[in-house]
Amino acid sequence: MARVLAAALAWWSALVLGAPASALDWGGIEPGVTTIEQVRALFGAPSKESRTKVESYGTIQWVYEDARAPGGIQRMTVDYGLLTPQGYKPTLVRVLRLEP
């Protein structure tokens, strides 16, 4: 019994502690890395586009719905415009929301 418990603990430790933590991307979109041009290349034109200002910065939101949404997803919303240490990047993905 002690051997089984020790083996299970070793397996769990290797699984949890052995894998490095990293930010996840989805479908090729990684917030803070992916640009508006890359999203268009991956998924085409959005169903809806809106522009607004957030704290005087111009932002863009693309919504992919129904047939334009990726498989298995009802609605995908991509927000662009990210303030980085190098300055404001209006075409960089800030937030990605998926509604299955």
- Which pair of tokens denotes residue 67? 């047939």
pLDDT tens-digit series, residues 10-56: 444 444 444 443 445 688 899 999 999 999 999 999 999 999 998 89
Q: Does some domain include residue 84?
A: yes
Calculate the alpha carbon distances from 11 to 1, 21, 29 in Å.
15, 18, 32
Q: State the pTM of this model.
A: 0.73
Count of domains forming the chain? 1
Q: Say if CB 68 and CB 46 are below 8 A apart.
A: yes
Q: Does some domain include residue 91?
A: yes
pLDDT tens-digit series, residues 47-98: 999 999 988 999 999 999 999 999 899 999 999 999 999 999 999 999 999 9
Q: Does some domain include residue 21?
A: no
Name the residue range of residue 89's domain: 30-99
Q: Which domain CATH number covers 35?
A: 3.30.1450
